[in-house]
Structure 1
Amino acid sequence: MDNLRLSLNNSRTRLVVASMVLSTILTATVLALVYVTANRSIKSETRSVVSAELTGLADEYERRGLIGLITAIERRLPSASERDALYLLTDRSGIKLVGNLKSWPANITAGSGWVDLELRRSDNDQLVPISAASVRLPGGERLLVGRDAVARQQFDRVLLRSVALALGIALILSVLTGWLFTRLVFSRLSDIASTAENIVSGDLSRRMPMRGTGDEFDQVAGTLNNMLDRIEELISNLRTTSNSIAHDLRSPLSRLRQRVESLSDPGKSDMDREVDIARATGEIDHVLRVLGQLTEISRAEAGLGREQFEEVDLQQLVGDVVELYEPVAADQGIQLEISGQSAPLQGHRPLLSQALSNLLENAMRYAPQDTAITISIAEDGAHTSLSVRDRGPGVPEEELPRLQLPFVTLDPARTERNAGLGLALVAAISHMHGGAFVARNCDPGLETTIKLSRHP
């Protein structure tokens, strides 16, 4: 009993049983409908033929009298066996006048309608089931016309055996179909479950298997793989960020501790203490700045602030940011150029301004004097691209994918001015807007691009 209960708790078994039950019920319903319809059709046809023949013989009696009726029946008797036809004509006292039945049935009243009974035939002296109708003629004679039901009963038995055989075959096919269906479904689910267990165990490099059929399972597997790619990327970024935070904040916090401890040195002058306090304040500002940027990246990666999306005119936004940075660029001998246009899109205006500012600051950091930085706007399918290109030395190709990672900088040493979080924030803002951050070398210079979805 426990094994049976355990087997029924199995999803595959339940699906096979459900398939078998539903297929059996459907097949049985169809076959029963066929049987009933065929049986009724045969009975209806038999009754129609007998009723027509009975009416014809009654008309013969009206036209030609009793002798004419007897003659008409006698003409039909030679072929009666082939047609399974039965006739019996008696006088008013029940004495047989003509027919292939021995006697009038004792429990049947002439004119009582359609009856099913057993009578003995006179031609072979066999008791046979018949279906017949009768009528009492005007002279008191009784006329019975029917059909031998043996053939119909044999047909019923054959039909029932055929129905039972078809039902058995349908049952076997339903079990086979259910087994094949569950094997197909659960083999795919088993592959997904096995891969998921490996992922849960810590192997984030595993991906859901795809068979290239393009079916729903492949679509689900593709969606899960995209999700796993994103999760792996976020975890990798988290590990990098955690390590980088520990590395980047250890030094300023250590220096801050030294500054604070030095304040208690009785041999220090007031001027030295003021210098230490100023330096400690600078270290605190640097830590707060790094933490603030990390908070902004986390909020953008989580999609917080989408409720503040509004229609943004990129030409106006670019113009405002360029106007802000033109004096600084002019001091460095750098010219800012704007090209392209696009339709307004939905976005977070302050964050987009911050992203463009970070790209401009990064470009101005490496752009040579007396060169131009180009800010380009372009539409590409469902995305709008916002690009910033300088004419500097560019970036080694192997470093391009790492530019959007937190705490990644090409400076030989990180300073308070550059903690390597600017482009990471730009990438996070791009993802928040349904796009991506792309960087490529242009020979000369580096072009950094924010791709923004027009309908994030």
Structure 2
Amino acid sequence: MSSVIRKAKSHLLSFRLVAGYFLLFFLSTTTLFGLSVFLLDRYVTDMERQRVMEKVNFYQSLQSDNGFAKLVTELRRQHKTNRLGNVYIHLTDRDGKTIWQTIPEQLDELPSSLFSLPLTIKSGQWKNVDLPIFNDLDIYAYTLPGGQILNIGRTTERQEFLVESMRDMFAIVLLGIVLFGMAGGAFMAHQVLRPVRQLTKTVKKVSSGDMTSRVPIHKPKGEFDELAELVNAMLQRIETLMVAMRDALDNVGHDLRTPLARMKARIEQAVIEDTSPQRQRETLLDCAEEIERIDKLISMLMDIAEAETGQMRLNVESFPVADLLHDIAGLYDLIAEERGIELIVESEEVMLSADRQRMAQAIGNLTDNALKYTPEGGVVTLKASTSSDTIVLTVQDTGPGIPEKERKRIFDKLYRLDKSRSTKGLGLGLSLVRAVIIAHDGKIVVTEAPEGGSIFKVKLPSL
């Protein structure tokens, strides 16, 4: 029973669309038909009354020109014609006594008593007389100059026939409307809700763990296809983040397991062995160093996550790029000198609008990497230039370079080249650099230098 209810609820929107479409179509068609019948009835009635008025004018003119006796004679002469033409005539004197009466042939089956009584109709007015048959009488009353009353009219056969014909035709049309309206409504609801069903199906697959499932896109594109593209982009983003999170957790687990195990072993050794206070102090300092490294790892991961989700808060200001590069060079001069590496700054007079601290952190990480992998006697160059509406910050080294197949992965979190695993580091420097650059609406690319080594180019929008 519950499954039936769930299925009914899942099709409730389809039913509402079909019912709404059908009801709207049915009501509009019924309204149009009723209006058509009303206008047709009015038109035929006006046409028939115009014919009656032509006879009234004729009899009026005849009585005025030739007298009342001539009018009665003419009524007698036209008696047969009027009967066959369904014309009703009732002429009475001023006291209501019948002088002449012509009853349409169609009404012969009715009792004569229905027509023996004078009709009390005001002069110059129309009155519809209801008869116990299919036809009625539409009568116009006119008072002659001598006080006689001429009631003349026609049966409503033509109106009734046309109206009934239209009603019969509408009954057939209505049946077609019901069938085709429901079929058309069901088809339209099915077509309209197809993208919704596909979206629901995709979401169910994703909920069950199939992160590769996507909503189909149809041609030509409609509003639902635009929604499907946004959903697909969101699913792609989620899949990317989940894969990155899984990889990050694997790498974090690998990078945390070793220092934690090392700290545990040292602490256990210090507890078990009867060591001197100096040795215990050294153990605590080693543990503090490992904790600092872990804290730095977690802080960098949080910074990267903030940047990737657009939550990194930037204190944007305008400053000369040359000052930034010289400050970074001053920070790393001593390290470069100790390693026998020449650190050069080449900068144009360019103003940059950015978070100076974050930008210094990013360029500083690139400089630190360059110095780390550049051999003794090498050169690291920090350069700033402009191109169109872009400011380009370049960090170039003369180290061993980065293989082309590895260049796309070096910005992944906790990813390091195999040969650099022995080099001390967290594997988050380049990930943080990319995150900071993206937060500034920029991009970073890495290429191979012609003379060997790597070139990191940071492209940022200019003022």
State the TM-score, normalized to the length of structure 2.
Answer: 0.79
Identical-residue share of aligned pairs (%)? 25
User: Are the structure 2 counterparts of residues 282 and 72 from structure 1 closer, same or farther at C-alpha, using a change threshold of 3 Å?
Assistant: same
Partner in structure 2 of residue 189 of structure 1: 196
Structure 1 residue corresponding to 2:434, chosen from 406, 421, 427:
427
Partner in structure 2 of residue 242 of structure 1: 249
CA distance in 1, matches of 2:459, 2:48: 82
Q: Structure 1 residues 323-332 or 207-216, which shifts more?
A: 323-332
Q: Structure 1 residues 386-395 or 158-167, which shifts more?
A: 386-395
CA distance in 2, matches of 1:216, 1:299: 32
- 1:234 alignment partner AA: L
Offset of 1:68 from its aligned partner? Answer: 5.2
Alpha-carbon contact 1:110-1:136 (below 8 Å) kept = no
Partner in structure 1 of residue 109 of structure 2: none
Q: Structure 1 residues 198-207 or 3-12, which shifts more?
A: 3-12
Residue 122 of structure 2 is aligned to residue 111 of structure 1: yes
Alpha-carbon contact 1:88-1:99 (below 8 Å) kept = yes
Alpha-carbon contact 1:342-1:377 (below 8 Å) kept = no
1:4-403 to 2 correspondences below 5 Å: 9=9, 10-11=11-12, 12-51=14-53, 53-55=55-57, 57-67=59-69, 69-70=71-72, 85-92=87-94, 94-97=97-100, 99=102, 106=117, 108-111=119-122, 113-117=125-129, 129-264=136-271, 268=275, 272-305=279-312, 308-309=313-314, 311-313=316-318, 316=319, 318-327=321-330, 328=332, 331=337, 332-338=341-347, 344=353, 350-366=357-373, 369-370=378-379, 372-376=381-385, 378=387, 387-392=393-398, 393-403=400-410
Offset of 1:436 from its aligned partner? Answer: 5.5
Alpha-carbon contact 1:116-1:130 (below 8 Å) kept = yes
CA distance in 2, matches of 1:290, 1:4: 54
Partner in structure 2 of residue 412 of structure 1: 419
Alpha-carbon contact 2:396-2:456 (below 8 Å) kept = no
Deviations 1:293-323 (A, max 9, x none): 1221223233334xx456543xx26334212
- 2:44 alignment partner AA: I
Deviations 1:78-117 (A, max 9, x none): 8757865444434445344475659855151253531222
- 2:325 alignment partner AA: V
How many pairs align?
441
Q: Which runs of 5+ in 1 are unaligned?
A: 121-125
Alpha-carbon contact 1:387-1:447 (below 8 Å) kept = no
CA distance in 1, matches of 2:51, 2:356: 90
CA distance in 2, matches of 1:445, 1:81: 118
CA distance in 2, matches of 1:374, 1:171: 77
Alpha-carbon contact 2:434-2:443 (below 8 Å) kept = yes
Deviations 1:311-366 (A, max 9, x none): 543xx26334212112335743132334696885xx65543443333334334444
Deviations 1:28-59 (A, max 9, x none): 12222222222233334434553465355435
User: Are the structure 2 counterparts of residues 119 and 254 from structure 1 closer, same or farther at C-alpha, using a change threshold of 3 Å?
Assistant: closer
Alpha-carbon contact 2:21-2:185 (below 8 Å) kept = yes
Q: Secondary structure of 2:187's partner?
A: helix
Offset of 1:376 from its aligned partner? Answer: 4.6
State the TM-score, normalized to the length of structure 1.
Answer: 0.80
Offset of 1:433 from its aligned partner? Answer: 4.9
User: Are the structure 2 counterparts of residues 363 and 35 from structure 1 closer, same or farther at C-alpha, using a change threshold of 3 Å?
Assistant: farther
RMSD: 3.9
CA distance in 2, matches of 1:288, 1:189: 46
- 1:38 alignment partner AA: L
CA distance in 1, matches of 2:214, 2:137: 75
CA distance in 2, matches of 1:66, 1:3: 89
Alpha-carbon contact 2:328-2:360 (below 8 Å) kept = no
User: Are the structure 2 counterparts of residues 235 and 110 from structure 1 closer, same or farther at C-alpha, using a change threshold of 3 Å?
Assistant: closer
CA distance in 1, matches of 2:150, 2:271: 137
Q: Which runs of 5+ in 2 are unaligned?
A: 106-111
